[in-house]
Amino acid sequence: MFVDEAIIKVRGGRGGDGMVHFHREKYVPHGGPDGGDGGRGGNVVLEVKPTLNTLVAFRYKDRYHAQDGARGGPNNMSGKSAPDLIIPVPPGTVVMDAETGELLGDLTQPGQRLIVAHGGRGGRGNQHFATPSNQVPKMAEKGEPGEERILRLELKLIADVGIVGVPNAGKSSLLAAVTNARPKIADYPFTTLEPNLGVAELDINTTLVLADIPGLIEGAHQGVGLGDAFLRHIQRTRVLIHLLDGLSEDPLADYSQINTELALFDEKLAEKPQLVALNKIDLPEVQERWPEIQKQLRNHGVEPYAISALARTGVKELLWKAAEMLQKAPKVEEIPALPVYRPGEDPRAFTIERVPGGWRVHSKALERAASMTYWEYEAPVRRFQKLIETLGVEEALRKAGIQEGESVFIGDYELEWQD
């Protein structure tokens, strides 16, 4: 099954909690705080695996959660950091944030990696909060939550040459004739329901990777027929073989229509080097039409080839010309994978709104801090209250008209307002 789109939800591991602990040892009456730090949560990482050629694995599993870091221990022992969660993807995978549409990376090379969700840092143990005035700190941090993101994955096949044309032009037959690929072939429209890849070996030093793209019809860029689901696969190719059906009523109109669809989907597709070949030249009626079709195409500045994918007539010459054009064709512009991705929004930003039962504060910084607070200890609670005051949330709530005893919701936590 060929699957070239997927939506997945990823979450980095939570950091391990820091520990509140005091050293206890015989003959050491005042050992002091020795609570260790929590370990870091695992990252979620996409890695290119060259043996994959589809996103079908994400149809059966669409949620990925890296392991959490281990809790800190006594005697200043830090918790173990969690391993990264490695998710294999095929070459040609484009990664986007499904909610914002932001492009995160373009994975094309074997072994290439992209961190898509960072694990949270481990919470600090109470050893870090000792001061000359507070030598017995009953305070530590819980681990930071891991990043959570919904991703949209799109696969663009990586091929040197893309074979395009109207349905039944003979694209699959051409691919089967020159490679070991075995695409489905029949004499009805839309035989090919998914792109196919094949490798053509011209000689010991020259090979071409070809992609047979399902037939395009008018309106393909808007989703008519099978079009826009596969047009993206042509974007990665560097040279196009435009195959015309020799039995078509008007091959020239087909030629114009396909080029229009390519340009409407992506204007850069219209700029790709293109070879035009009339297929089915082994048939007498096509041979009879060939001089007129050749003349018409030449009038449009195109030097066409006449081939027969079935009889393999003229196929070798066509491929050698494609290899020659490939040497001169510009490299496809690729977006480098980003080793690190974090949102660029202001961490101090917040909003407040009136909700049933009280007020809700929306703030990534406060929500993260709340989830890292030990609410059973007085010192961490005071520290959190200080943070609310520092960020200006307390003043904003007062101006909004909060009353004594009303609830303030921050993330999953409910606090009671007291003056």
Q: 155, 182, 201: which is the final residue of a domain?
A: 155
Angle made by CA atoms 357, 360, 364, in degrees to the nearest 5: 155
**Hey, what are 360's tokens?**
């809700």
**317 marked as binding residue:** no
Closest CA to 21 of 144, 140, 143, 134: 140
- AA identity, residue 286: V
Angle at which helices 251-265 and 284-299 pack, to 10 degrees?
50
7 DSSP β-pair partners: 152
d(C-alpha 227, C-alpha 293), whole Å: 26
> 190: annotated binding-site residue?
yes
d(C-alpha 47, C-alpha 59), whole Å: 18
Query: Are 71 and 118 part of one and the same domain?
Result: yes
Nearest-angstrom CA–CA distance, 185 and 174: 10
Confidence of residue 178 (pLDDT cuts 50, 70, 90): confident
Same domain (yes/no): 185, 130? no
Q: Is residue 159 marked as binding?
A: no
* Same domain assignment for residues 141 and 165: no
Q: Which residue has the higher pLDDT, 335 or 328?
A: 328
Say if residue 320 is in the same domain as residue 365. Answer: no
User: Quick one: which H or E segment has residue 388?
Assistant: helix 378-391
Residue given tokens 């790709």 in the structure block? 272
How high is the mean pLDDT of the chain? Answer: 82
On whether both 141 and 4 belong to a single domain, the answer is yes
Task: Take residue 42 and report the two structure tokens written for it.
Answer: 């695992």
In a domain, 116, yes or no: yes
Whether residue 245 is annotated as binding a ligand: the answer is no
Backbone Cα Rg of the chain? 31
The answer to whether 308 is a known ligand-binding residue is yes
Q: Write out pLDDT tens, residues 229-275.
A: 556 667 778 889 998 988 888 888 888 888 887 777 777 777 888 89
DSSP-derived pairing of the beta strands 93-97 and 196-203: unpaired
Q: Percent helix, strand and coil across the chain, each rounded to 5?
A: 25, 25, 50
Helix (H, G, I), strand (E, B) or coil at 391: helix
Q: Provide DSSP, 239-302.
A: EEEEEEETTSS-HHHHHHHHHHHHHHH-GGGGGS-EEEEEE-TTSHHHHHHHHHHHHHHHHTT-
Distance of CA 60 to the CA centre of its chain: 17
Boundary residue ending a domain (126, 155, 184): 155
- pLDDT grade for 8, boundaries at 50, 70 and 90: very high
Mean pLDDT, range 388-412, rounded to an integer = 88
Is 191 marked as a binding-site residue? yes
Average pLDDT over residues 325-332: 78
Q: Which whole-number Å values give the CA distances from 347 to 43, 323, 343, in the listed order?
A: 21, 52, 9
Position 376: which residue type? E
165 is in an annotated binding site: yes
Residue 281 is labelled as binding a ligand: yes
Q: Is 206 annotated as a binding residue?
A: no
- Cα atoms found within 13 Å of the Cα of residue 338, Cβ hemisphere only: 14
Pair 356, 304 in one domain: no
Was 126 annotated as part of a binding site? no
For residue 192, say whether it is annotated as part of any ligand binding site.
yes
The model's confidence at residue 189, banded by pLDDT at 50, 70 and 90, is: very low
**Which of 80, 78, 81, 82 is CA-nearest to residue 35?**
78
200 and 69 both lie in a single domain: no
DSSP SS3 for 87: strand
pLDDT reading at 41 higher than 70: yes
Q: Strands 274-279 and 305-306, how do they pair?
A: parallel
| 41 known ligand binder | no
Spatial contact of 400 and 392, defined as CB atoms under 8 Å apart: no
Residue 163 marked ligand-binding: no
Q: Is 309 assigned to a binding site? A: yes
The CATH code of the domain that includes 247 is: 3.40.50.300
| pLDDT of 214 above 50 | yes
The reply to whether 282 sits in an annotated binding site is yes
pTM over 0.75: no
Confirm whether residue 49 is marked as ligand binding.
no
285 is in an annotated binding site: no
Is 79 a member of any domain? yes
> Does residue 166 have a known ligand-binding role?
yes
**Same domain, yes or no: 307 and 389:** no
- Which residue in this structure is represented by tokens 């709104």? 353
Residue where a domain stops, chosen among 294, 328, 362: 328
Owning domain of residue 253? 161-328
Q: Any binding-site annotation on 167?
A: yes
Range with the poorest average pLDDT among 57-71, 92-106, 175-189? 175-189
Closest CA to 54 of 176, 234, 233, 238: 233
Strand partners, 73: none
Token pair listed for 34: 């020795």
